[in-house]
Amino acid sequence: MLIEKPEIKMEVECLALRDLTSPNKIKANLDEVGCRNNQKENIFVDRKRATSHNKDAMSTMLMNGKNAASPEQLHITPIKHGEQGAQPHPDPWTPTANLKMLISAASPDIRDREMKKVLFRPIENERKADGEDVKMDDQFDAAEEDEVVDEDEKKPSRKQKSLGLLCQKFLSLYPDYPASEPISISLDKVATFLGVERRRIYDIINVLESLMIVGRRVKNQYVWHGRWRLSSTLAELQAIGRQQHYHLLMGQAGEDASRDGAPPITLEDRGHGDSNYTVAGRRKDKSLRIMSQKFVMLFLVSKTQTVSLDMAAKILIEESQDTSNNSKYKTKVRRLYDIANVLTSLGLIRKVHVQDERGRKPAFRWIGPSDFQNSLAEDTEAVVSIAPPDANSAPSSPCRKLPGLLLQPVDYSRICVSNSAQFGTTTADAAPPGSVCRTPSHSDRIPLLCSEGLEPMTMHVCPEESSSQRAAPHQRAYLPSLAQASVVMLYGGPTAQVGLDPLTTEGQRSPGSRESVLGKRKWGEEDGKRATKEKREASGKTIQEEGSLEGTSFQGSTSQMTFTPGRAPGDVNLDRHSPPNNQGQASHYLYLSNSADLGALKFLLSGSQTPGSLTGTMPTLALPYILVSSSTLPPYPLAASGSDAHANLSFNLPSSSMISSARFVMGAAGPYVVAPEFAHLMAAAPIISSPEQHGMYGSGSATPHSPLEPRAPVTFLQTEPQTPQNLKETAGGSGSKSFFQTPGTMETGSYAPLARRRGSAQRRLDIGHTPSS
């Protein structure tokens, strides 16, 4: 698919870089380069071509592959489009189109399709005026544009410019489960590409940072981690939230809802509050990240997993005592909406309404993975030491600090033993096997996706082997009768598309469609019920749930699900259950727990038809079939089989590795099971990345997975529940502050307890020490 000719590629890149927003230009350029179709009729064709041509370019640009131009080169000055947004063009070559094209290029086919169809469609009008860049050297034929562009008078509606949509686009640019190598994100490029101001990108990035989906590398440059760490991050947040007693707060403030007034317990009360940030108002920056983490924590500790905006705002305001202050409240609410939009795009929450005495209040419901609670938690105990639900009991605090979590900084700093050393070491391996705490991070590493399009997601995961990833391409999972998106979410892999034909799946990604289904549903109920219910409802149709389902579409009743790498709504943790030791055990049961909606759902995959498969160091697990039986899903037997009959999941497990955190990823082609634990193993092996990726990764900061992942298991010495209380206060005063990593730094942060200068502290690079300077 890629262009064979480097030169061309380069050119395209350049073009793209120069003017991402103007499709016409690109097109023109492409033509110049080699694409000759100008005819409108052929636009699509051109596009395709362009796409293919641009694939690299895109990747490069956005992801900053190594090959790509150097950052500097790439770096484009942000264009402030004053007028952006203003005029949309309907036509294909609008910026949007362009974007699509590029995007598609960048990612796997599926993504491509999805993106285009889904994301962009809705957005179609959104585009900034092409004019902005026009100055660019070229002659972009105005004429052409004109023709093509109809000038829609229609300006993009506000919705089209929403942060949520923007976030979806942004997310579509990167794989949910990137290969281990780091993918760089150039702020400017992305902003330009998406046609928005940088400011907006920051909004997104900040939230993503809070979840460790991205990390900051250096100025203007961020690192895309994808969702590998999401589960672990969530687990940590949950643990922290418990430690901090957020659940109590929730109860008071939120769930009870009734009381506006003084929530009995405030974070501050508890002490921790936002210390750092809050501290004395010291630095507020990163507040969005902190807020985001706290907000997420609220969901994670909530029994109902539903948090009303009002409650969240109140709780989050803690800092500012002003709570009472209306303006403060309003501001908080605004921010929460911003955060919620991003989280919604991530498929972690969805908007709902709660009824309280006063009436209906806007709220959000967690639809993301929740299993980690169980699985992870369980594992966690074993593996990761997460703070026990009971705050006190747990001596071990979350192993790693969440980057963003400023909350804990204080404590951690004190408490934690950092393995700063490890930072340097990049690899996942860093974590000593024996280490007490295992950070989930391992999981993160797992390189899964292969980007190449849909291709075979299947990979062998050979811990050691880095090389071969794809064992069996094209395996597919069939989920007969599974209509539910939620199910899909379970495994969380890449997005699942139910339809075999990616194309058909268009709707899947739901960006536009968000809510379509949702709206109908009632979310208040029990998760389990709901899930089930939904499934049924959903079955047979394409379901597009907002966040959760993104990417999943079901065609018809049949549900063949193809999981595409791109995004998975939820992470699925497979086998968390399997004891680490078990690896070899025949019983490889893979659980797919859907954290999200199906909180309860867990699929037991006994794929191990091949008993021996998992055994030993490299046991391979061949799963001709994977049957998933879920109580919840009784009706829906899940069978994953390689393409057809033979799907195999083969992966090798290192003897030592644990399966527990394995993830099940289903690529378009097939399911993959990756155990986080193995991740490191896997890490070694780049999973398939497309060539481009390779390039990209290479470039990655020195350590590809390293800093990030490597969370060394950190053990926190202190047992105390130091919760926020201390944190808060301390934060300000103590070194903890320095300690805080800024949000986003979680990764590193965890590792680096070291005090940092504020500045540095503020921004910790994922990459750890990376070159940032």
Which positions ≥6 away from 211 have C-beta within 8 Å?
Answer: 229, 230, 233, 234, 292, 293, 296, 346, 404
CA atoms within 13 Å, Cβ hemisphere of 627 = 7
Q: Contact between 733 and DNA (CB under 7 A)? A: no
Q: Provide, rounded to whole angstroms, the least separation between the CB of residue 510 and DNA.
A: 15
- Burial (Cβ within 10 Å: 0-12, 13-18, ≥19) of residue 330: exposed
Q: Provide, rounded to whole angstroms, the least separation between the CB of residue 518 and DNA.
A: 13
Q: Which of 746, 748, 769, 710 lies closest to 431 in space, CA to CA? A: 710
The smaller minimum CB distance to DNA, of residues 201 and 450, is found at 201
Stretch that binds DNA, among 229-237, 263-271, 713-721, 757-765 (CB under 7 A): 757-765
Q: Contact between 327 and DNA (CB under 7 A)? A: yes
Q: Contact between 221 and DNA (CB under 7 A)? A: yes
Site string for DNA, 330-359 (x = CB under 7 A): xx-xxx-xx-xx---------x-x------
Q: Contact between 288 and DNA (CB under 7 A)? A: yes
Q: Contact between 229 and DNA (CB under 7 A)? A: no
Q: Provide, rounded to whole angstroms, the least separation between the CB of residue 71 and DNA.
A: 11
Q: Which of 56, 138, 197, 255 is in the footprint of DNA by CB under 7 A?
A: 197
Which run of H or of E encompasses 71? Answer: helix 71-74
Q: Provide, rounded to whole angstroms, the least separation between the CB of residue 121 and DNA.
A: 16
The tokens describing 200, both together, are: 């907006």
Stretch that binds DNA, among 542-550, 603-611, 649-657, 756-764 (CB under 7 A): 756-764
Q: Contact between 82 and DNA (CB under 7 A)? A: yes
Q: Cα torsion at 558, 562, 563, 565 (round to 10°)?
A: -150
Q: Which of 85, 175, 494, 512 is in the footprint of DNA by CB under 7 A?
A: 85
Sheet with strand 221-224: strands edge to edge: 183-186, 221-224, 214-218
Residue 276 Cα distances to 248, 272, 287, angstroms? 22, 9, 10
Q: Contact between 541 and DNA (CB under 7 A)? A: no
Q: Provide, rounded to whole angstroms, the least separation between the CB of residue 472 and DNA.
A: 41
Strands (DSSP E) found in 470-601? 476-478, 496-497, 560-563, 572-573, 589-594
Positions in 608-667 near DNA (CB under 7 A): none
The smaller minimum CB distance to DNA, of residues 164 and 369, is found at 164
Q: Contact between 202 and DNA (CB under 7 A)? A: yes
Other Cβ atoms less than 10 A from the Cβ of 213: the count is 26
Sheet with strand 359-366: strands edge to edge: 306-308, 359-366, 349-356
Residue 748 Cα distances to 217, 244, 287, 422, 769, angstroms? 11, 22, 18, 10, 9
Q: Provide, rounded to whole angstroms, the least separation between the CB of residue 315 and DNA.
A: 15
Q: Contact between 742 and DNA (CB under 7 A)? A: yes
Other Cβ atoms less than 10 A from the Cβ of 1: the count is 17
Which DSSP category does 91 fall into? S
Q: Contact between 103 and DNA (CB under 7 A)? A: no
Other Cβ atoms less than 10 A from the Cβ of 564: the count is 37
Positions in 162-181 near DNA (CB under 7 A): 162-164
Strand 589-594 and strand 359-366: pairing?
unpaired
Q: Contact between 763 and DNA (CB under 7 A)? A: yes
The smaller minimum CB distance to DNA, of residues 191 and 633, is found at 191
The smaller minimum CB distance to DNA, of residues 403 and 463, is found at 403
Residues 596, 368 contacting (CB under 8 angstroms) = yes
The tokens describing 299, both together, are: 């969901």
Q: Which of 179, 185, 187, 402 is in the footprint of DNA by CB under 7 A?
A: 187
Q: Contact between 78 and DNA (CB under 7 A)? A: yes
Q: Which of 5, 36, 219, 259 is in the footprint of DNA by CB under 7 A?
A: 219
Q: Which of 185, 212, 298, 309 is in the footprint of DNA by CB under 7 A?
A: 309
Q: Contact between 473 and DNA (CB under 7 A)? A: no
Query: By the criterion CB under 7 A, which residues form the site for DNA?
Result: 77-78, 82, 84-85, 157-159, 161-164, 187, 196-200, 202, 205-206, 216, 218-221, 282-289, 309, 327-328, 330-331, 333-335, 337-338, 340-341, 351, 353, 362, 742, 758-763, 772-773
